[in-house]
Amino acid sequence: MKKRTKFLGLFGAILIAVASLGFFWSNNSKYFEIAKNIELFANLYKEINTYYVDEIEPSKFMRIGVDAMVSSLDPYTNYISEAQIEDFRFVQEGKYHGIGIESRKIGDYFTVTELFKDQPADKAGLKVGDQIIAIDGKDAKGKSEEDIEEILRGFPGTEVILQIRRPGKNEDFKVKIIREDVKVENVPHHDIIAENIGYVSLTTFTRDAGSNVAKAIKDLKDKNPNLKGIVFDLRGNGGGLLLEAINVTNIFIPKNELVATTKGRVKDWDRSFRTLNNPVDTDIPVVVLINNRSASASEIVAGAIQDYDRGVLIGQRSFGKGLVQNTRDIGYNAKVKMTTAKYYIPSGRCIQAVEYENGEPVDIPDEKRTPFKTRNGRQVFDGGGVSPDILIDRDGSSNLLRQLERSNIIFDYVTQYCAGKESVGELMSLKFNDFKSFLDFVEMQNFQYNTKTEKLLKELEDQSEKDGYAMKATLDNIKKEMVKTKRAELMKYEDTITDIIEKEIAGRYFYQEGAVKIGLRNDIEIKEAIRLLNDPSRYKELLK
């Protein structure tokens, strides 16, 4: 009864606020519509919470409505609840209060997918592949991501007890972890990868990304006075802070050069961002690696370097996120992150994707995109991401590989492979030579690799039954042939899948840095970058 009285009191306060809005805005039809719809929304919310046949959790019910509203706008506008503030803080600062893991739901439970070195979970002995069965004695089965985060993250010094199910162990066990201020490096690795050629990896544009990349490059130059090129890796970097994108660009671009312009509905918020500091190096040849998961701030940096003809881009077309988000407080420690502007890079182009399918940008051919010019007069295009100067299709268009990733097949195989192995020897000696066991694992998992042919075959099977045709035996034979074909297609991608498996294994024992290092060994984009940096005439020709 108290719960309902409290709810009705809150609802009364909402109505008073709405009535006030209606009073002040009645002369403005737009604001009257806003006030009217807020009142309708509040009335609907009250009536359902009061009279619906089953008890409703008000906060969860409201969250469904709020998420539906903001998701109708674009993929990047969203509501950030109090429980998600630590996630928001991580994106902003590269640190948060918690235990230092990445996890995702695989089956009924959340599974540890990455451990951050020397952070609480790592020190407590957790491993990648561990399933979280219970938290502080409460069953974790079927919990949402928000539920898990709300419990795992908390003030430094507090403890959380996890019940863990580990592949290869017969019984579940408990682990006590003391929460800390978790910090994740945004430059996990930099090194010399070939004679006088340096490499720097940037994984996210959190705070100090610019200064950390600058330190890495200065370190490489100090140790190698004859450094003749830098490979700057932005693959898989989903972006972050706009100001850090400006700072990273400033490492290679002179002071007072335009990097990005933002334009939105509120003209007073439109801004131009220029480099503010002296660069680290404006002359050393640079190759920037991008792929279809390089987004937002990564695209600003890659696009600006391309627009100023400062370096050569290698890889695949980037994701295509040319939108700027700002956050606004909405009370009760919650925020709304909303798209407020589009950004434009130095040539004047906006790289925002204009078409989406299932939440993923649709590839737009160049002939349908507007052309722009770089400083040297090279033609570049807007819409749908930044196109590399040298395109390398690392099987990125393979439907098979995408479905393997989405189905967690490789992750689960490596979890089984590593079960009971305390070590795998020296990092750079790591080799995976048992592809047959992977193929067997895929078949045992009944991996559903749905091709267009299979969809058509299913339609034919359904229709033939309706029409009374006896085609079952024929269709079964076709299905058996398709199973053989799928195994052959897996064999076709053996090298690529082996690389992914080796990186996944390295990450289990040597953390993020180990995965980066082992990935460099067979990386075709790295090899192409080294070839280009060793061929100055070709490098210059590409930038003409």
Are 320 and 384 in contact by the 8 Å Cβ rule? The answer is yes
Task: Give the Cα separation of 503 and 188 in Å (integer).
Answer: 14
Q: Burial, 160: exposed, middle or buried (Cβ in 10 Å; 0-12, 13-18, 19+)? A: buried
Are 112 and 132 in contact by the 8 Å Cβ rule? The answer is yes
Judge whether 296 counts as a catalytic residue.
yes
Q: Considering 103, 294, 296, 387, which one is annotated as catalytic?
A: 296
Note every long-range contact of 33-39, with CB atoms under 8 Å and residues 24 or more positions apart, other chains counting.
38/14, 39/15
Q: Considering 321, 486, 503, 517, which one is annotated as catalytic?
A: 321
* CB-CB neighbours of 110 under 10 Å: 25
Judged by DSSP in three states, 389 sits in: coil
Judge whether 495 counts as a catalytic residue.
no
Residue pointed to by tokens 């400033």: 250
Amino acid at 355: E
Judge whether 321 counts as a catalytic residue.
yes
Task: Give the Cα separation of 299 and 297 in Å (integer).
Answer: 5
Buried b / exposed e along 459-472 (16+ C-beta atoms within 10 A):
eeeeeeeeeeeeee
Annotate 333-357 with three-state secondary structure.
CEEEEEEEEEEECCCCCCCCCCCEE
Are 502 and 430 in contact by the 8 Å Cβ rule? The answer is yes
Q: Considering 307, 389, 499, 523, which one is annotated as catalytic?
A: 307
Strand partners, 246: none
DSSP-derived letter for residue 363 is P
Task: Give the Cα separation of 289 and 193 in Å (integer).
Answer: 14
Token duo for residue 91: 């994106």
Task: Give the Cα separation of 274 and 254 in Å (integer).
Answer: 10
Token duo for residue 301: 């940096």
Catalytic residues: 296, 307, 321
